[in-house]
Amino acid sequence: RAKLEGRGTVRFFQQKLHDELVRQHYLSSRLEEALDNGELSLHFQPQVSAVSGGIENLEALLRWEPPEGPTISPAEFIPLAERSGLIHRLGDWVIEEACHQQVAWRAKGFHRHRIDINISGRQLTRPGALKRFEDTLQRHGLAPQDIGIELTENILIEADETVLEDLWRLYHRGIRIAIDDFGIGYSSLSYLKHFPATALKIDRSFIQDAPTQPKDRAILEGAILIGHRLGLEVVAEGVENAEQLSLLRDLHCDLIQGFFFFRPMPAQEIERLLSGFVGGPGGLSG
């Protein structure tokens, strides 16, 4: 009997694996078409000042809304695009779209906020990727401060010489470079000495339980301190409640990003927000 049950379990997992592979194959083959058909869009999630509550920065996050079904998360389709190589076209589209949006907002008089886009490791393996990013900014008449990039620690560690040179050039031109998901990579802290960065984004996992778990709090406190001592702006990701916000303010974190204030939103909603028609949750005054 045990043998039979075991076999049933194996078959169950084989089926799940099979379904998963079929879905991946389907999404991967649909993605390019989706890009061509305008099924992809950028949403923007505000980062607010921990002190004033003002919107300082917007993180651009890709969304795929297929006409035939529910929205698909970038966490699912970005890895597929990396594997197929479509990430290069997709990445170009994101840069172009972010620039286009920022130009439109500047023209409407919204001058304060910056936009950051995510760049994945595979994107930087294409020669000249960062040069092209700078050129796109210039072509749109944007200043270096208008659009920044987010890279994970692993990307910085694995970057080759030419990519590092490009990153330093961006850095010296005043383009913002944030280290995304800080603290969850496999890297030692020493890389912080050698790589260009202007900001640290502390991963959500350290924020989540910090108000109640002393060890999480200690790590969070240490990360913010390291960031500040290195002259970096510190951003907290995934802030979902008032307790987390209050702690982060006590620890002098600079910027707050998370559902407690705002979810990622389409450009139109951001615009209403920037126009001051829609308020935040009032977390800072309360």
Which positions lie near ligand C2E, rule CB under 6 A?
45, 61-62, 73-75, 78, 94, 117-120, 150, 180-181, 204, 237-240, 257-259, 264
CA distance 60 to 257: 12
120 touching Mg ion, by CB under 5 A: no
Q: Which is nearer to Mg ion, 32 or 181 (CB)?
A: 181
Q: Write down the least CB distance from residue 18 to ligand C2E, Å.
A: 25
Find the shortest distance in angstroms from Cβ 260 to ligand C2E.
7
Place of tokens 């913002």: 176
Q: Nearest-CB residue to ligand C2E?
A: 258
Residues 88, 94: Cα–Cα separation, whole Å: 10
Pick from 150, 153, 166, 271: which binds Mg ion (CB under 5 A)? 150
Give the residue with the Cβ less far from Mg ion, 31 or 202: 202
Enumerate residues 223-282 that contact Mg ion by CB under 5 A: 237
Residue among 87, 94, 79, 97 nearest 124 (CA): 87
Q: Which is nearer to Mg ion, 92 or 181 (CB)?
A: 181
Q: Binding partner of residue 92 among Mg ion, ligand C2E, none, CB under 5 to 8 Å per kind?
A: none
- The CA–CA distances, whole Å, from 181 to 3, 205, 272 equal 44, 9, 29
- Please report how close the Cβ of residue 170 comes to ligand C2E at its closest, in angstroms: 16
Tell me how many degrees the CA angle 198-101-111 measures, rounded to the nearest 5: 60
Pick 82 or 237: Cβ nearer Mg ion: 237
Cα 180 from chain centre: 7
Tokens 């560690």 belong to residue: 157
Q: What single-letter amino acid sits at 286?
A: G
Q: How far is the CB of 14 from ligand C2E (least distance, A)?
A: 29
The DSSP symbol for 242 reads: H
**Cα dist from 253 to 20, 33, 234, 249, whole Å:** 40, 42, 6, 6
Smallest distance from the beta carbon of 60 to ligand C2E, in angstroms?
A: 6
Q: Does 118 bind Mg ion (CB under 5 A)?
A: yes
Residue 193 backbone phi and psi in degrees, to 5: -75, -30
Q: How far is the CB of 164 from ligand C2E (least distance, A)?
A: 19
| Secondary structure of residue 74 in the 3-state scheme | helix
User: Which residue, 181 or 240, has its beta carbon nearer to Mg ion?
Assistant: 181
Q: Which residues of this protein are in contact with Mg ion, per CB under 5 A?
A: 118, 150, 180-181, 237
